[in-house]
Chain A
Amino acid sequence: MTRIFVTVFAWAVLFFLVAPLLVIFPLSFSSGEILTLPVPGYSLRWYEDFFLTERWLDATKNSFIVGIATMIIATVLGTTAAYGINLTNFRGKTVVLALLSLPMVVPLIVTAASMYLAFSVVGLANSLWGLIVAHTIIATPYVLITVLASLQTFDPNLMRGALSLGARPVTAFREVVLPLIMPGVAAGAIFAFATSFDELVIAIFITSPGEFTLPRQMFAGLREFISPTITAAAVIMILLSFILLFISEAVRRRGERLTAGKVKQ
């Protein structure tokens, strides 16, 4: 009896989680202008509108520019910092770690408002660079976490061995450490990209229409004119999250295999 109840309950919750996303798909292919089901007919007109409207394309372009730049900077800075943190037990390590993960615990609205106030003073507001800096800051904690996790499974003797064989530290890092922690780095990079690509609150505060990202443009659309083009944009974003989820799961599995292999050895 309890068992049946739990099963039904769980499936109802899972349905609640997924169903709203599924509703968007048919709506985005609707031939009508009113967002209701059943749709009057199917067409690609909203996708056409998305791909032919300058502000949607600009927003998509901005999202990719900021997302990729954030991913690169966050991954490079996060990985080197994680390596540095893992290398020694220096004084002040816990403080540094706490400081670097602060952007995760401070409410986003406070971060966004503070960045707006301070970035305006130094001319970083209303520029893609400002948004890249902001996104890098909120994305690096994820890179730190994933890379630190994979560094913990890494055997420091391997690095020492390479160094004793005369390899330069940089070479040793590139040839020995990096391949082994790659799953962690890649997972962090994907998370960094996803964080930037989804981020809206900071974008609301520090961008003007010229720098609108895809979520920011959707938000403007929801408050302005709710054309079904928004559903097309939403479907495109869902598909992208799907791809990111898929890559991140693949990376995770690979990471697990690597760790498992090492344990066996």
Chain B
Amino acid sequence: MSKKSRISWLLIAPLLALVVAGFILPIGYTMVKAVKNPEVTAALPRTVMVLDAWDGQGMPPDSAWDALADDIEESRRGREFGAMTRRLNFEMNGARSVLMQTRRALGSLEPPYAQSLPVAVPELATPEIWQLIKNNSNPFTASFLLRAVDLQFTPDGRIEAVPPGTAIFLDLFKRTFWISIWVTVICVVLAYPTAYYISSLSNRAASYAMLLVLVPFWTSILVRTTAWFILLQREGPINAGLQAAQITSEPLQLIFTRFAVYVAMVHVLLPFQILPLYSVMKRQGTSMLRAAASLGAPPWRQFLLVYLPLTMPGVAAGAVIVFMLSVGFYVTPALVGGLQDQMISYYIAFFTNQSINFGMVAALSLLLLVFTGALILIARRFVPGLGSLKAG
């Protein structure tokens, strides 16, 4: 390594260290968490060992009962047992209460447990719960990733669709995708003529008009969402205006609807589409159009054959940014949408705060990351120079 490039590395090192430690490692940690499965082995080491030698058919050997009793006694005051029961209950509803019941029963039971336990906890006398323990003694699992696409393991280890009443994530990924597509399309439709108009103004007028784009752009997303939250209320300014103008007689339900999500998201993201379009159009000028006109092409052909292809990079660059940001949007839909209008991000937050299921958080994050990564790769193929664009 030359002396100079050593200086380069030295100068980059502090930032690189911070990004690796504070960003790359956390993301990696999360990705690993999406497939990690330590709970059962941690809480029931002896049971796992015994079940390892069991073929999973019929009932396990009698020694498994004693191992289970030992393990539970050992972990009586620790938190491993609770974590394990939560983990297994995720795989099979009711597993937690069976195991908690077992723990309570063990306080007053005498060995041999293979005789006394099944009497106290009849659910233990069926192979399912033992299969469940055995299946989850592996330190890694695909359970969370499968659940993130509405699939699950059966007790004997096959993969099946979750019951229809609990399926949710495939629909959510689809919804996230379609809301993002529509927001992007609406942004392009609104931004194109606007950017064209501004680019056709004199420099001075254009810079004033651009101020109307830049002010919202610099204003916090939350402030803009707050504005819509207020505007769309049942007794808010929009409904008041509509009724005063006698367009409607009853207040419309605007907030907590899909409509509100679209309006607020488009409002927040529109500047990201206008800015790159404007800079492309400004550079392009209208000289090409004039040249085409002087060759006698009708206006719509001038536009379609000359101007549109030339400004396409601006459309694509903006659209990619808008789409990518939409896919990960959380705050705006959470505030102005109803429960039927939330995207995948809402459920990442839900599993983090509400239910204590970090495996699901990790699995949904991983899928969203892969989804966005794939889209970036596709976009890079079609939009040259995308890497240099800034996306707020």
A residues with CB within 8 A of B: 2, 6-7, 9-10, 13-14, 16-18, 20-21, 23-24, 27, 34-37, 77-78, 80-81, 83-85, 87-88, 90-91, 96, 98-111, 113-119, 121, 133-134, 136-137, 140-142, 145, 169, 194-195, 197-198, 200-201, 204-205, 215, 218-219, 222-223, 226, 230-231, 234, 237-238, 241-242, 244-245, 248-249
Contact B4 A23 (CB under 8 A): no
Interface residues of B in 252-295 (CB under 8 A from A): 267, 270-271
Check if A118 sits within 8 Å of B197, measured CB to CB.
Answer: no
How many residues in B have their beta carbons less than 8 Å from beta carbons of A?
A: 84
Contact B222 A215 (CB under 8 A): yes
Asked, given contacts A34-B235, A205-B352, whether A109 binds B214 with beta carbons under 8 Å apart, the answer is no
- Whether B7 pairs with A36 at a CB distance below 8 angstroms is no
Interface-side segment among B108-116, B161-169, B365-373 = B365-373
> Measured between alpha carbons, how far is A200 from B330 in the docked complex, in Å?
10
- Cβ of A218 and Cβ of B30 under 8 Å apart? no
Q: Using A16-B267, A111-B23, A205-B349 as known contacts, list a sample of 16 further A-B pairs with CB atoms less than 8 Å apart, ordered by residue number in A.
A: A9-B193, A13-B191, A16-B190, A21-B215, A23-B227, A77-B15, A84-B7, A102-B23, A140-B18, A197-B220, A200-B331, A201-B330, A215-B220, A218-B226, A238-B219, A238-B223
Cα(A237)–Cα(B226), bound, Å: 12
B361 at the interface (CB under 8 A from A): yes
A-facing mask of B12-42, CB < 8 A → 1, else 0? 1011101110111111011001000000000
Contacts of B390 in A (CB 8 A): 104, 141-142, 145
Set B14, B190, B361: member contacting A77, Cβ < 8 A: B14
Q: Is B392 positioned at the interface, with any CB of A under 8 Å from its CB?
A: yes
Residue of B nearest to A74 (CB): B15
Q: A17-B270, A24-B230 are in contact. Are A245 and B222 (CB under 8 A)?
A: no
- With a 10 A CB-CB cut-off, give which of B7, B25, B365 has the most chain A CB atoms: B365
Asked whether A117 lies within 8 Å of B362 as measured between CB atoms, the reply is yes
Question: How many Å lie between the Cα of A63 and that of B29 in the bound state?
Answer: 28
CB distance from B133 to the nearest CB of A (A): 26
A-B contact list, 15 entries, CB within 8 Å: A21-B224, A83-B11, A85-B8, A90-B8, A96-B12, A101-B387, A107-B328, A113-B30, A115-B23, A117-B361, A134-B22, A137-B18, A197-B220, A205-B352, A218-B226
Bound CA span A136–B14, Å: 12
The chain A residue with its CB closest to the CB of B226 is A234
Q: CA–CA, A121 to B249, complex, Å?
A: 56
- Specify the main secondary structure of chain B where it touches its partner: helix
Residues of B within 8 A of A88 (CB): 2, 4-5, 7-8
Within 8 Å by CB of B11, from A80, A100, A234, lies A80
Using a CB–CB distance below 8 Å, which chain B residues touch chain A? 1-2, 4-5, 7-12, 14-16, 18-20, 22-27, 29-30, 33, 190-191, 193-194, 196-198, 209, 212-216, 218-224, 226-231, 233, 235-237, 240-241, 267, 270-271, 299, 324, 327-328, 330-331, 335, 345, 348-349, 352, 358, 361-362, 365, 368-369, 372, 376, 387-388, 390-392
User: Which chain A positions have C-beta within 8 A of B221?
Assistant: 198, 200
Q: Which residues of A contact B236 (CB under 8 A)?
A: 35-36
Chain B residue nearest to A116 in the complex (CB): B352
| Minimal Cβ-Cβ distance residue in B for A115 | B26
CB-based contact B197/A6 at 8 Å = yes
Out of A23, A105, A241, name the residue touching B219 (CB < 8 Å): A241
Q: Which 4 A-B pairs have the closest CB atoms?
A: A107-B328, A84-B11, A118-B26, A10-B197
The reply to whether A110 and B369 contact each other, CB–CB distance below 8 Å, is yes
Residue contact B226 to A230, C-beta cutoff 8 Å: yes
- How far is the CB of A165 from the nearest CB of chain B, in Å? 19
* A110 in contact with B348 (CB, 8 Å): yes
Q: Select which of B12, B33, B361 is within 8 A of A84 by beta carbon.
A: B12
Least Cβ distance of A41 to chain B in Å?
17
Q: Inside 8 A of B328's CB, which chain A residues have their CB? A: 107-110
CA distance A242 to B9 in the complex (A): 38
Do B352 and A133 touch (CB < 8 A)?
no
CB pair B230 A231 closer than 8 Å = yes
Contact present for B368 and A109 (CB under 8 Å): yes
CB pair A119 B352 closer than 8 Å: no
Query: Smallest Cβ distance from B55 to chain A, in angstroms?
Result: 37
Beta-carbon contact of B368 and A107 below 8 Å: yes
A131 smallest CB distance to B (angstroms): 11
Chain A nearest CB, measured from B230 CB (Å): 5
Q: Is A241 in contact with B352, judged by CB distance below 8 angstroms?
A: no
Chain B contacts for A242, CB-based, 8 A: 215, 218
Q: Which residue of A lies closest to B207 (CB)?
A: A249
Contact yes or no, A245 B345, CB < 8 A? no
Q: Do residues B233 and A219 form an inter-chain contact, with CB atoms below 8 A?
A: no
Instruction: Evaluate contact between A118 and B220: CB separation under 8 angstroms.
Output: no
